[in-house]
Each structure stands twice: as structure tokens, then as C-alpha cells.
Chains A and B, each alone.
Chain A
Amino acid sequence: MRVRRLAAWTALPLAVTLGLAACGSGGGSGTGQSDPNAAVRIEIAEPQHLVPTNTNETSGSQVLAALFSPLVDYDEANKPYEVAAESVTSSDNKVWTVKLKDGYTFHNGEKVTADNYLDAWNYGAYAPHGQNSSYFFEKIAGYADLQGDKPAAERLSGLKKVDDLTFTVTLTEPYSEFKTMLGYTAFYPLPKAAFSGPGTLKEGYEQAPIGQGPFRMKGSWQHDAKVEVERYDAFPGEQPKVGGVEFRIYQQPTAAYADVLSDNLDVIKTIPTENLSTAATDLGDRFRQSPASSLQVLAFPTFQKEFSNPEVRKAISMAIDRDEITKSIFKDSQRPARSFVSPVVAGYRENTIGTAAEFDPAAAKAKYQAAGGPKKIELSYNGDGGHKDWIDATCNQLKANLGVDCVGTAEPKFADLLTKVKAKQPVGLFRMGWVMDYPSMENYLGPLYSTNGSSNYYGYRNPEFDKLLAEGAKAPNEEAAVAKYQAAEDLLAKDLPVIPLRYGQNNFGHSTKVKNVQMDLFDRIDLLKIEAVS
């Protein structure tokens, strides 16, 4: 019978499948000798894009950090110094002159010139290209003309080529920290080979990006699997100490953690929360922590009457025991915050908020009652981000210390929370997080608290604050700028539009096969420092 034979056909592949069983590989023990030709394996998530101006998440920017060399990088004090640039100078903070170092080439042999930077930046700023990091160029003159459905111009009027290795950048407003911005992914150059026509990126460029950095692509981007890079020997800058890197893509950090434990993977960038309590015993001194740029806050809708009085806001801040929550809920994976800027930027000062950030239940209650705070407090958060525990703990502290009723309200996603906040619906206090775009105090202040700030959801308005920020942007040098920004931060401490709660921390770990693993300011593994141990 015909059908019976069909059944036999299905049985055959099963038997074959079972018969084949391949063997796994064995592991060698490290002797501590550095091997300059070995490749290291680093965990990332699937990047969204691998075009510099379109990449604003850490996985993509980690890969691009291997393929590209930035104009500036940051030293121990988080101040910028030149890498691919010879110099970045300005006399008035408005017109900046960028001189490039000679000798840099793209991985296809093309010489790096000023045009490569201008082409890349113009491409990124042009709105119809829909680039994620397009807003990094908004300070450059002519940016407005490139916006909208049918922009008036195709190139930024503020970018001018002087000679092959020099170009000038004219900003719309003076900005003292423009040089600091240039270390970010968005400011990498693109080779001529990346374009199929003027202003048109070649289809498939991001499958195998060509850069001018210490590593070049080995093969192309294997989606959901890995991105492999190998050392580019013609790189004129500091050479890496490994032969290549395999960026292995994981969807869940727990899987990556299991791989690091068994030396199947070399670096995990974020140890999952559920493994943090055992990480110190599992990994010993291979479990590492470093300050990250993120800042978690509870924000006030200052436009609402019950929270418009700064004294009420201060009383709530004083009733929260930050240390207890970071310790018991976060197992010290984050650190308590008492300032508005992160310790990873120049100009950071500890405890700028002062007494209002000190836990003092008795004083908090007295202050709260004197200021006439509301009887009921609501804390809104997004339910998909693991925030429930600390919100509940905070609520319990407020209940106990202020004698108010407190509820935590979960919105399904952060987007839902933002929609409600933007519509000024009464959500009570809401959680917010901030990750910097470039390591400058301004980046923690301008977008979040200035009157026209892109992420000022709290309705905070303070003309004095806006004025100080503007003065900081015009300041003749970085020190003067930082002084202005610090004065602006002091104003925030008085008004307390948000309660800074915790700084993020990188909790990373590595296998026994690598050493000298360090994390940079943008939460990326430093690929020039990492070494393989054979």
C-alpha cells in the first residue's frame, strides 16, 4: 500500500538523526600568557542597525566601536582627547575646526578625508533617511533645513571642507562642549564605497560595514547569530591586543551567563539580576563592576497642584531610604544617587541635593504636613521593566514614613506611560531613566529640565536655569562651562523636579580566557585593552 511506504519514509530521517551525534570540544586551561592573535568572544544583543548615524543602542555601538575609530575618546577624568582627529579647536565655540590625522585608511584601502565625515554627517542629518541618531546633528547650522517630508536642502550649511584633512563645523548657537560630543558613534565617517550615489547609502552596507577602525569585518553580519571582526593591520592608531572579536548574539542574558561560567563565552556585559547574588562566588575576581551613565529617578508632574510646592517634593525625597532599597532590592547592582548628573561625567559632585536626599523620616513627616502634601500618592511605572519591586518598596516607605496612602500603578509599557504623561493625565509620580548621549553635564541637564528640553515631561520651568545653561554653552572653556552647569544643578537641587534615586552600574563578568576587561563610558567593552590568555 502506498501510504504505508510514506510512513516508512518519515521513520527513516528520525533514525538517521539519532545515529548522528557529534562530539563537543574540550577546553584548555589558561597559563596567563597573552596571545595577540587569539579572538575573544563578547556577548551582545541583536543590533538594530550597523550604520553609525542609525545606531543608538549599546549592542550596535559595541560592534561599531571595533570597526571605527572616533575623532575623540575620553581620559581618566572623562575629558576628551584626540584620536582620529589631530585637533578640534574653536575660538568662539561657534565655528569649530577639525583637523584629521594623516594615514588613516578605510578597510577597503580608501584614504580617510574630510569628505568622508561630511558625507556621513549630511546623510545622518537628512530627515527622510530616518536615522535614529539624527538629533546629534541638531546643533549644526542648517539642520532645520534638512527636516520635514521634503527638506529645503540636502546638505548641512554648517559643514565646510577646507582641505583634504580639515573641515569646519558652524553651530547655530555657541556650544562649549561640542568636542565632547564627537566621541559618540554618530560622528564616525563613511567611506565613498558606502554610497551608491550622492546621499544614498548602498543597499546592504550595514551587512558588512567598512570603517577606519582597528578591526574590520570578517564575513558579514549573521543576524541573530554573530558578527565577527578581525584585526586591521594597516590601522595607524593604537593596535588592539587581540587578533579578532566574535560578537555573539544572545536574546537572554541568562544564556550568556551560563556560557561564561563554562568558558564558552569570554565576556558578558550585563549579568542578569537573578544571577547577581551568586556572581561573586561563581566568578570570583572575574565578576566586575564599573559606574554606568544611567540615572534612575522618580519624576514629579510639577504642573499638578499637589506637587507644585518644592517642599512637598523634598519631604517625599527625605522619606525614601535609597541605601536600603539599592541594597536589599538591587543587591548593590546599582548605587544610590544624590546628584542630578552621573559620576561618569566631568563636573560631577557628590550629594548636590544635600539634606533633601538624606533619609530622615521624622523631619520628612513634619515637612510634609507643614507643606500640605496630598493624602494619597500614586507611583506609575512600566510593568515590563522589572520595576515593581522597588516601586512597591518605595511605596511602603512612603506609607510608613509619611503616613500617606500609596499605590504603585503599572502601565504595560514605557510608551504607554509616556503617552499619559505627555497628555498630562494624573499619573502621580512616575519613574524615568536617563542614559547619556555624550559625557557632558549638559546632557544630563538640557534635555531633561530646560523649558524646551526634549525629555522634560515634568513641566519644569525655570528661566534662571535656562539662562545658566545658555551661558554654559557660550563659556570660553570647559572649566568655565562646568562652573555654569554646576550652578544650574544647584538650582535643580533647590526645586527638585525629580528625585534622583540610583546610578546604574555595569555588572559584567568574563571567562578565564581573557584579562584586562574594561568598560568604557558608553557601556562598551574597551576593545583596545582586552587581552586573550592562552
Chain B
Amino acid sequence: MFRFVLRRLLQMVLAFFGTTLIVYALMFAGQGDPIQALAGERPVTPAQRAYLTEKFHLDRTGVGGFFYRYFDYLRNLLQGDLGQSLTGRSIGDILAAAWPVTVKLAVIAMAVTILFGVTAGVLAGIRRASLFDNATLVLTLLVLGIPTIVLAPLAQYLLGVRWPLFPPTAGADPDLYALLLPGIVLGSLSLATALRLTRTSVAENLRADYVRTARSKGLVRRRIIGVHVLRNSLIPVITFLGVELGNLMSGAIITEGVFNIPGVGFNLFRGIRTEDGPLVVGIVSVLVVVYLVANLVVDVLYAVLDPRIRYE
């Protein structure tokens, strides 16, 4: 077990540097004129241009320039310095301010997914072909069919403005209540998927041989479903949720924009729009770590759910 985790951690270091290299290269290749992008449509004075060019080594172009700037970035990164954005703010500070609120949002979304998705999935799986099952299938189909870009403003308008049950936006320092609506919107897509996964998995396992054995042994229904079926059915769901945790954090660009939550997606969007290479690379690097850790946790959890799985 320990060796397994250690090996994975070492792999993570490699994956981390690989992704920063790729992302840095992509930002570098796609970079037009970040100084003009920052100024919008205003003319940029030569003095200002010279100042920013010098500060961010923007005159270093081509393959040589790329490696110069990449290693410069890495050197600072290893010293714990993520660099500065083009407006002169420390990227470390930006990330420190953005992460907590995004994590809160993702946790709420995840909780909604698990609480409603998995529970309803289990119920639908047990009562296959019932009214409840069919209703959830239609509902999830609907949710899966509506993209967040429609769902988020719609939910904001209906539940925030028209019938003011929730505050329409959350802001920078929101309480849990303000984050609830964005959390539900963000979690709804994974909720639908998780529900369907659980339902299928439970329905399938209910017909498995070991369930028949358990029944014939005279075990109570609650124990059969709660312990035997559920535990076996959760493996695909956990895999999905692990990957989804990363998605929830990085994929909140739309939700965070609509509900004005200055989290990671919000900053990523700004970084891309203003061609702010260091900012994008900084955010993506941390996202990569989140994905890697989430995957590791999922792998470890397999062993909990299925004792037959052993890691060496």
C-alpha cells in the first residue's frame, strides 16, 4: 500500500512538470500581443510597451525564447514564486484568494450530487420500471440536455430574481446559503450522471448470484441492499465522482461568472482573455495536482469497497 502510494506520488511529479510544459507551450504559441489585449482597444504608448516587454521578457520569442521563459518560470516556481500577472498582482495571492471559494462551491456541488444523485439512483435501481424510476430518467435526460450556460442564468432569474428564494449572486465572501444555488446548478450535471450510473449498477447487482444467495440465507432486505449491493455498486460511481471533483473545480467558469464568484474558473477565464500566460499556467498547474490527487484517492477507495483489490 505504502509503496503504491509512493510510486503514484513520484509519477505525479513527472506528470506535473509535463503538463506545465505543455500548457506553457500552448499559451506561448497562442500568444498574440498580451499588452494590447490588456489595454483593450486603447492605444498603448511606447513607454508602457517597453516597460511591460522588459518586465515579462516578451521580446524573447521563438524556440530559444520559449525555453528561456519556461525555465525562468520553473526556476521561480521551484522557489515558490508563481510570478506576477500582467497587472502586477502576485499570482500566488490571486490563487490563494480564488481557491477557497471554488473548493467550497465544489464541495457543495459534490454533496448535492452524492446526496440526491446516489440516493435517488439506489431507489430507482431497486424499483426498476416504477413510476419513480421513469420520472427520474426523464428528469435526468432533461438536465443532461440543458447546458450550464442556459441552466445557470435560468436558475438565477427564476430562483434569484423572479421568486427571490436565493440571493441572485454570491460575491467574493459568500455564506453557504448564497453558494447553495450555484452549487446545485454546478452539481446538477454530475448529479444526473451519478444517478444514472448508480441506478444501472444497482439494478444489475440486484440480479447477481450473491444477492440470491444472501436472500436464500434469509438475510433482511435492508442488509442485502445497504451492505452487499450498495458496496459493490459504488465502484463505478466513485470512479466517476473522483474525476468529477476535478471537473467541478475547473469547469465552474460559467457558473462562477453567472453568480459572480471570483474563484478559479473566473480567474482562468480572465487569464485566457487577457493572454496572461503565467496566470493560466499557475491555475492549470494546481488543477493538475487536484486531478492527480483525486485519482489517487479514488484508487485507494477501491480497496475499501472491494477487499479483493490489493495494492503492492
Contact B169 A3 (CB under 8 A): no
CA distance A419 to B257 in the complex (A): 31
Contacts of B243-281 to chain A: CB distance below 8 A: 257-260, 262, 266-267, 269-270, 273
Residue of B nearest to A126 (CB): B47
Q: A49-B88, A226-B172, A415-B37 are in contact. Are A134 and B177 (CB under 8 A)?
A: no
CA distance A3 to B45 in the complex (A): 60
CA distance A22 to B167 in the complex (A): 12
Q: Which of B50, B160, B171, B300 contacts A258 (CB 8 A)?
A: B160
**B62 within 8 Å of A by Cβ?**
no
Residue of A nearest to B258 (CB): A255
CA distance A254 to B300 in the complex (A): 43
Contact A258 B168 (CB under 8 A): yes
Distance of B58 from chain A, by nearest CB (Å) = 13
Contact B257 A17 (CB under 8 A): no
Contact A258 B177 (CB under 8 A): no
CA distance A308 to B161 in the complex (A): 54
Contact A414 B40 (CB under 8 A): yes
Q: Which of A192-200, A243-251, A349-357, A520-528 contacts B (4 or more CB under 8 A)?
A: A243-251
Q: CB-CB < 8 A to A57: which residues of B?
A: 40, 42
**B301 within 8 Å of A by Cβ?**
yes
Contact A223 B48 (CB under 8 A): no
Q: Which of B36, B39, B41, B300 has the most CB of A within 10 A?
A: B41
**B64 within 8 Å of A by Cβ?**
no
Distance of A199 from chain B, by nearest CB (Å) = 15
**B176 within 8 Å of A by Cβ?**
yes
**A225 within 8 Å of B by Cβ?**
yes
Q: Which of B7-15, B108-116, B133-141 contacts A (4 or more CB under 8 A)?
A: B108-116
**A219 within 8 Å of B by Cβ?**
no
- Kindly supply a per-residue 1/0 record for chain A positions 83-111, scoring 1 wherever the CB is within 8 Å of any chain B CB and 0 otherwise: 00000000000000000000000000000
Q: CB-CB < 8 A to A454: which residues of B?
A: 43, 45
**Chain A: interface size category:** 35 or more
Q: Which of B45, B87, B176 contacts A134 (CB 8 A)?
A: B45
Contacts of B86-123 to chain A: CB distance below 8 A: 87-89, 93-94, 97-98, 107-108, 110-111, 114-115
Q: CB-CB < 8 A to B269: which residues of A?
A: 251
CA distance A226 to B259 in the complex (A): 15
Contact B40 A22 (CB under 8 A): no
Q: CB-CB < 8 A to B87: which residues of A?
A: 48-49
Contact A134 B40 (CB under 8 A): no
Q: CB-CB < 8 A to A135: which residues of B?
A: 45, 47
CA distance A328 to B157 in the complex (A): 26
Contact A455 B257 (CB under 8 A): no
Contact B161 A130 (CB under 8 A): no
Secondary structure dominating the interface of B:
helix
Contact B262 A3 (CB under 8 A): no
- Kindly supply a per-residue 1/0 record for chain B positions 159-174, scoring 1 wherever the CB is within 8 Å of any chain A CB and 0 otherwise: 0110010111101110
**A534 within 8 Å of B by Cβ?**
no
CA distance A129 to B156 in the complex (A): 44
CA distance A128 to B43 in the complex (A): 18
CA distance A57 to B52 in the complex (A): 17
Q: A226-B172, A254-B153, A262-B164 are in contact. Are A415 and B33 (CB under 8 A)?
A: yes
Contact A17 B107 (CB under 8 A): yes
Contacts of A11-57 to chain B: CB distance below 8 A: 13-14, 17-18, 20-24, 46, 48-49, 56-57
**A157 within 8 Å of B by Cβ?**
no
**A4 within 8 Å of B by Cβ?**
yes
Contact B41 A433 (CB under 8 A): yes
Q: CB-CB < 8 A to B304: which residues of A?
A: 1, 3-4, 6-7
Distance of A184 from chain B, by nearest CB (Å) = 13
**New A-B pairs, 8, CB < 8 Å, besides A130-B52, A413-B33, A413-B36:** A24-B177, A134-B48, A224-B267, A249-B172, A255-B260, A261-B168, A419-B33, A435-B41
11 residue pairs from A and B, CB less than 8 Å apart? A7-B301, A17-B108, A130-B50, A130-B52, A224-B97, A224-B266, A249-B262, A255-B168, A261-B168, A418-B36, A454-B43
